[in-house]
Amino acid sequence: MTGITIDGHTIEIVFSEAEIAARVAEIAHAVAGRDPERLLVVPVLKGSFIFAADLLRAMHGAGLSPEVDFMMLASYRAQTSSSGQVEVLRDIQTDVTERDVLLIDDILESGRTLAFAKDLLAARGARQVLTAVLLDKPGHRAAELDADFTGFECPDKFVVGYGMDMAHAFRELPFVGYVTNPK
Ligand code: IMP
Ligand code: MG
């Protein structure tokens, strides 16, 4: 494995920039293949912001012209594992009635965050709520949820980069990696 050292932390690359770009393009075409109507894309902030930005541009390349609005959720966790509560820190301002919605998140782990967001938008009358995640950690599911579109299955490690953080750091990395010596 290749890695880099930043501020004393060694980060091993798990998914490279090129691997991610290729997968993102495939996901965009898979979304287009579902022929969504009046599509609203909803990135779940903060961790999904780089994935969402790349996926949206790839969606343009795949012939889609969605609208975009943002939701910020906090799921309360003990250190690095998710616990039960999800709170809306910032809601979308768009009416989803009769629209197809694509929720985008960075990681699907317990599934609580996305299950919460999906139920919320479905209850508001969305025609269909699809979900796209960059990474799936299937070993920790607590809610009944599988993403409609998944980038990669993630090793059972705390990963950073490509939007994902450890204590607000490492979001800028263009790849997904894991910290071999966490803070
Ligand atoms: P869950 O599916 O509700 O457990 O929440 C998944 C969320 O937990 C993701 O959106 C991330 O914000 C966070 N998360 C889970 N695993 C990791 C990780 O390895 N690195 C960074 N964030 C993570
Ligand atoms: Mg998140």
Neighbouring CB atoms inside 10 A of 108's CB total: 26
Domain containing 107 equals 3-179
Distance CA 135, CA 127 (A): 25
Q: Which two tokens stand for residue 136?
A: 């799936």
Among protein residues, the one whose CA lies closest to atom 4 of ligand 1? 110
Half-sphere exposure of residue 53: CA atoms within 13 angstroms, side-chain side:
8
Q: Looking at residues 98-122, what average pLDDT do you find? A: 97
Q: Is the CB of 136 under 6 A from ligand 1?
A: no
Mutual angle of helices 49-61 and 17-33, in 10-degree steps = 60
Q: How does residue 182 score in pLDDT terms, banded at 50, 70 and 90?
A: confident
Identify the nearest ligand to the CA of 75 by its number.
1
Q: Looking at residues 14-35, what average pLDDT do you find? A: 98
Distance CA 126, CA 99 (A): 5
Answer with the residue of higher pLDDT: 79 or 164: 164
Q: Is the CB of 109 under 6 A from ligand 1?
A: yes
Residues with CB in 5 Å of ion ligand 2: 47
Neighbouring CB atoms inside 10 A of 171's CB total: 17
The CATH number of the domain holding residue 128 is 3.40.50.2020
Residues 6 or more apart in contact with residue 123 via CB below 8 angstroms: none
Domain total in the chain: 1
* Pick from 110, 107, 154, 153: nearest CA to 131: 107
* pLDDT tens, residue by residue, 118-148: 999 999 999 999 999 999 999 989 888 999 9
Q: What is the pLDDT of residue 181?
A: 83
Half-sphere exposure of residue 109: CA atoms within 13 angstroms, side-chain side:
15
Q: For 28, list phi and psi in degrees, rounded to 5.
A: -60, -40
Identify the nearest ligand to the CA of 72 by its number.
2
* Pick from 49, 31, 44, 150: nearest CA to 100: 31
* pLDDT tens, residue by residue, 42-89: 999 999 999 999 999 999 999 999 999 999 999 876 555 555 689 999
Q: Are 53 and 19 in contact (CB under 8 A)?
A: no
